[in-house]
Chain A
């Protein structure tokens, strides 16, 4: 089973763009039949699916975030990335990357998560 590891700045200023990367270990991000997802969780709260990308580059986003989200993939580095623009304090959360099988859409496995705080 692959392992995922998130990385990126832990502090972002309001109105700026949050940028995170998920590195895939133990398998190719180019393998067919799997999607690569971003999910977030504010402290003490529930989980919110942000969006996903397939190796073809096809993306799907949560409508509530769609205008601010971009997910991309870098096959050479075995990574996929999240950009969330115009952030506010409400975007402060632990951000997880996770994989999901095509036609199934449950999440397994997950990365360990990375805390991003939006503050000036």
Chain B
């Protein structure tokens, strides 16, 4: 099973600032990686797939990069609506498809 490790566990930022979240895979997943945003009481929402492709309707301030074992999600200018928990997920080697433990972006 591929283990996904996210860092940091929590990130404190101010509105308008840039946030960079990291995700590391225990072995190469090529670019078979997705990012999700989850707000309290809601289901996760797909942000990024194939490591760097924004899903439909996702603002351009969200960007993904990386390949192999190292990935990042960048939010270029945080808005109040962006404070949430973010998860990465690999779908290169399965079953099972696996998720990171999440990074909480807080004010």
Chain A residues with CB under 8 Å of chain B are: 45-49, 51, 60-64, 96, 98, 100, 104-113
Contacts and interface: CB of A to CB of B under 8 A. Distances in A.
Contacts, number: 59
Contact of B100 (A46, A108, A109): A46
Nearest to B33: A106
Interface stretch (B15-23, B66-74, B76-84, B87-95): B87-95
Contact of A107 (B1, B89, B96, B101): B89
Given A48-B99, A63-B96, A112-B43, A105 B91 contact: yes
Contact of A47 (B42, B44, B91): B44
Query: For the complex, would chain B's binding face be called helix, strand, loop or mixed by DSSP majority?
Result: loop
B11 interface: no
Contacts of A112: 42-43
B28 interface: no
DSSP class of A's interface residues: helix, strand, loop or mixed?
loop
Nearest to A65: B96
Contacts of B97: 49, 105
B43 A62 contact: no
B50 to A, nearest CB: 8
27 contacts: A45-B101, A46-B99, A46-B101, A47-B44, A47-B89, A49-B98, A51-B95, A60-B94, A60-B95, A62-B95, A63-B1, A63-B95, A64-B96, A96-B43, A104-B49, A105-B91, A105-B94, A106-B34, A106-B46, A106-B89, A107-B46, A107-B89, A108-B49, A110-B44, A110-B45, A111-B43, A112-B42
Nearest to A112: B43
